[in-house]
A and B are shown apart, each in its own frame.
Chain A
Amino acid sequence: MLRKASSFPEEMLEHVLSFITSDKDRNAVSLVCKSWYEIERWCRKRIFVGNCYAVRPEMVIRRFPELRSVELKGKPHFADFDLVPDGWGGCVYPWIAALATAYPLLEEIKLKRMVVSDESLEVIAKSFKNFKVLVLSSCEGFSTDGLAAVAANCRNLRGLDLRESEVDDPSGQWLSRFPDSFTSLASLNISCLGAEVSFSALERLVGRCPDLKTLRLNHAVPLDKLANLLRGAPQLVELGTGAYSAELQPDVFSNLAGAFSGCKELRSLSGFWNVFPGYLPAVYPVCSGLTSLNLRDANIQGADLIKLVSQCRSLQRLWVLDYIEDIGLEELAACCKDLTELRVFPSDPYGAEPNVSLTERGLVSVSEGCPKLQSVLYFCRQMTNAALVTIAKNSPRMTCFRLCIIEPRAPDYQTLQPLDLGFGAIVENCKDLRRLSLSGLLTDRVFEYIGTYAKKLEMLSVAFAGDSDLGLHHVLSGCEKLCKLEIRDCPFGDNALLANAAKLETMRSLWMSSCSVSFRACKLLGQKMPRLNVEVIDERGPPDLRPENCPVEKLYIYRTIAGPRFDMPGFVWTMNGDSV
């Protein structure tokens, strides 16, 4: 029996849609027909805006009247390393002000790389009666005063996560602003805070929140007090320790070991600043259950490190410094067969000589021993095509591969050839690759491989690579799913960009700095493509004071339905239409 789409009961569709939460699926549903668009928009509860300048808050509010959760991203990724000058933008206040009026029932706000003022936090604290989750990832611009407002006013808060944010931190007293009647906290991440928080307030808070599952402390919480916290929260699933050093005293040790033993649900550990290795055995009781271990801040080395890691047989995710060395990675490969994500960070990124014995061999070992490996971030000082080919063959399921060879343009150290073939093997074999970061000596060839094979690639990061515009052209014309492209110090210029202008509307953004794109080309692009914001960032002064064929310092292009932005600082120029 056939039914016309229009007679399908709305309630039925709404009910079905309540099971569809992925943004992509929701977006697809909304394109089926006008009535589905209407039904879908009225029942959408969560929205993700990957670029806060791609749309204006009023547009979001008009389309989705019933949101409960908003996630926004601001600055481009390269801002993490200060390639985006201060004052560039990404201020969240206009969004917060608009959301406060439109959504009194809003429960979640998640922000990444945005500038968040104390005023914004105060508005959040006072506007949403049922506010539950605040995540500020790599944000800046606020102090603990703003946090105090959130603590004091958000009676139903479940999560406060400040991961990687820069917080102005004059006092640790803000934590005491959580009222004694407040017991709903499930997740607290204050690992980025510089100053001490009031320990007694912390202890009482932890003790009275039975749902607390995630607790990431900052380095100022001393080790001898950690046991107290753990005993107050044996239900913890994720823990970030504070500083992990103290005078080795038997009673402190046994107290700590006992406290860890009591945390039967612990699956994730992080923290470990300033490790005193004598205390490491205190965590051994929980190692076998750990699925995630983050030692990126831990100065553990040698046998201590290997011993710790090799006990974590259930590990799925490991973040570690290159103190692990090849030998430690071999051990990891032998012990941790469920490993899906590995990140190895440099302990001495600016050193002229290697300070540790970590080479391509370590990564090869892991690819050989860990069949589920999907995500890699690896800093090292040497690489070969042969190693990359081996890794590619061993890890066909790789979805994220980020390799950083510390020396720019470093060739295959054995053959002195470019690493085109190695990365080519990666993109050819890893058919589900979504994210790729390149390094080492690379010619246009590697981009040809990427354009040919990397059909699912969504994000590509390129530095000091390529010979000509052909390289950029291969990527823009070949990578069908490309969403974000960030490039620095490559000889890519006007031709590839202008020839692939239409492609840019299918992507979230393109960043190019220290390349060869002329001011003239930027203007042309801005004029021809009204649905792109073409922004030139140039701290040398107005680009029209220099010859038109002079390359711009930095270029940030993103698709938008909001038109040019109004909050550009003096060193950012928009190339859109009349304003040029």
Chain B
Amino acid sequence: MEVVKETKMGFEETELRLGLPGNSGGGEGEMARKRGFSETVDLKLNLSSKESGADPNNLEKINSLQREKNLLATDPAKPPAKAQVVGWPPVRSFRKNMLAVQKSSTDQEGEKLPGGNATFVKGKMFSSFTIGNCGSHGLKDFLNESKLVDLLNGTDYVPTYEDKDGDWMLVGDVPWDMFAESCKRLRIMKGKEATGLAPRAMEKCKNRSYK
């Protein structure tokens, strides 16, 4: 059997396009929800707006936003479609729904980070809080701007942290350097549990001298 030239052309068409040969592009929005290949689980990212609400731990959302930014900023030689290839990698959308629900029904998330080391925290987690810059002011502004709201339950959450003294503090209330040096672990608390934490921040700043 012979390989017809048309087939090669067909290949190029499919390679370059996100959608399908002859696709007007109108199907793209629809297709963006779709996935496919071997079975697996997807625990985290949910880029579609439909399921994105139920997530009191905003780290997931922020991670996703940061990842999007990363992808857009990466080497143009990489296929720009990387984040949006329909149905790839092959993960089950069923699992995304499960995760969204499970995140909303847990009350408190005590996040003991591996090693409990503040430097590790900064590298891994806080770079995803800020969109773009990772300056301390950026972090503080972002977190103080809005409480994290669990859209399913309507309760609001605030990120807090335990410092060297064992005190629980609101994230963002002390300067970045002080935070980075003293943070032992993080916890996302319900808004009402976090009352009374703010005043300690002033005390800390007065009593310590940080570079």
Please list the residues of chain A having a beta carbon within 8 angstroms of any beta carbon in chain B.
77-78, 80-83, 85, 138, 164, 166, 192, 194-196, 219-220, 243, 245, 273-274, 276-277, 296-297, 299, 301-302, 321, 343, 345-353, 377, 379, 402, 404, 406-408, 437, 439, 461, 463-464, 467-470, 473, 488-491, 493, 495-496, 499, 513-516, 539-540, 546, 549-551, 553
Contact = CB atoms under 8 A, between A and B. Distances in A.
Given A80-B39, A301-B114, A539-B27, A493 B10 contact: yes
B11 A245 contact: no
Contacts of A166: 94, 97
Nearest to A552: B20
19 contacts: A80-B92, A80-B94, A219-B101, A297-B98, A343-B40, A346-B91, A349-B42, A350-B47, A352-B74, A437-B38, A467-B11, A468-B3, A468-B8, A489-B14, A491-B8, A513-B36, A540-B22, A551-B10, A553-B27
Given A352-B70, A461-B37, A469-B1, A297 B87 contact: no
Contacts of B110: 245, 276
The 10 lowest CB-CB distance pairs between A and B, nearest first, are A491-B11, A516-B10, A81-B35, A81-B36, A82-B34, A83-B36, A194-B101, A219-B102, A437-B38, A402-B38
Interface string B24-55: 10110010011111111111110100000000
Given A194-B98, A273-B102, A551 B20 contact: yes
A5 to B, nearest CB: 46
A348 B44 contact: yes
B70 A353 contact: yes
B7 A491 contact: yes
State which size class the interface on B falls in. Answer: 35 or more
**Which of A277, A468, A546: most chain B CB closer than 10 A?**
A468
B30 A551 contact: no
B142 interface: no
Contacts of B47: 350
Contacts of A470: 1, 3
B40 A345 contact: yes
Contact of A297 (B19, B38, B43): B43
**Which of B14, B24, B83: most chain A CB closer than 10 A?**
B14
B95 to A, nearest CB: 8
B5 to A, nearest CB: 10
Contacts of A77: 39
A348 B89 CA distance: 10
Given A80-B92, A408-B88, A350 B45 contact: yes
A220 B71 contact: no
B98 A192 contact: yes
B14 A516 contact: yes
Contact of A463 (B11, B13, B37, B44): B37
Given A301-B114, A345-B41, 12 more contacts: A80-B90, A82-B87, A219-B98, A219-B105, A276-B110, A346-B89, A437-B37, A437-B38, A468-B8, A488-B37, A495-B1, A550-B21
Nearest to B19: A514
A138 B10 contact: no
A349 B39 contact: no
Given A491-B8, A493-B7, A78 B27 contact: no
B122 to A, nearest CB: 16
Contact of A82 (B2, B35, B67, B95): B35
Contact of B89 (A296, A404, A496, A553): A404
A345 B94 CA distance: 14
Contacts of A463: 36-37, 88, 90
B55 to A, nearest CB: 13
A301 B92 CA distance: 22
Contact of A539 (B30, B36, B114): B30
Contacts of B10: 491, 493, 516, 551
**Which of B36, B70, B98: most chain A CB closer than 10 A?**
B36
Contacts of B182: none
B106 interface: yes
Contact of A496 (B1, B26, B34, B112): B1
Contacts of A138: 94
B79 to A, nearest CB: 8
Nearest to B33: A82
A461 B89 CA distance: 13
A515 B2 CA distance: 18
B117 interface: no
Contacts of A404: 37-38, 40, 89-90
Contacts of B88: 408, 463-464
A302 B114 contact: yes
Given A351-B67, A540-B24, A83 B40 contact: no
Contacts of B105: 196, 219-220, 243
Given A350-B67, A516-B11, A243 B106 contact: yes
B77 interface: no
A297 B45 CA distance: 14
Contacts of A274: 102, 106, 109
Contacts of B79: 408
Nearest to A243: B106
Nearest to A164: B94
**Which of A301, A406, A516: most chain B CB closer than 10 A?**
A516
B14 A553 contact: no
B67 to A, nearest CB: 6
A495 B33 CA distance: 31
A163 to B, nearest CB: 10
B7 A516 contact: yes
Contacts of A353: 70
A215 B96 CA distance: 23
B136 interface: no
A352 B82 contact: yes
B27 A83 contact: no
Interface string B140-165: 00000000000000000000000000
Contacts of B30: 85, 539
Contact of B36 (A78, A301, A377, A379): A78
Contacts of A85: 30, 34
A523 B162 CA distance: 67
A473 B44 CA distance: 39
Contacts of B98: 192, 194, 219, 297
A346 B42 contact: yes
A197 B206 CA distance: 51
Contacts of A347: 43-44
Nearest to A439: B37
B85 interface: yes
Interface string B177-210: 0000000000000000000000000000000000
Contacts of A468: 3, 7-8, 11
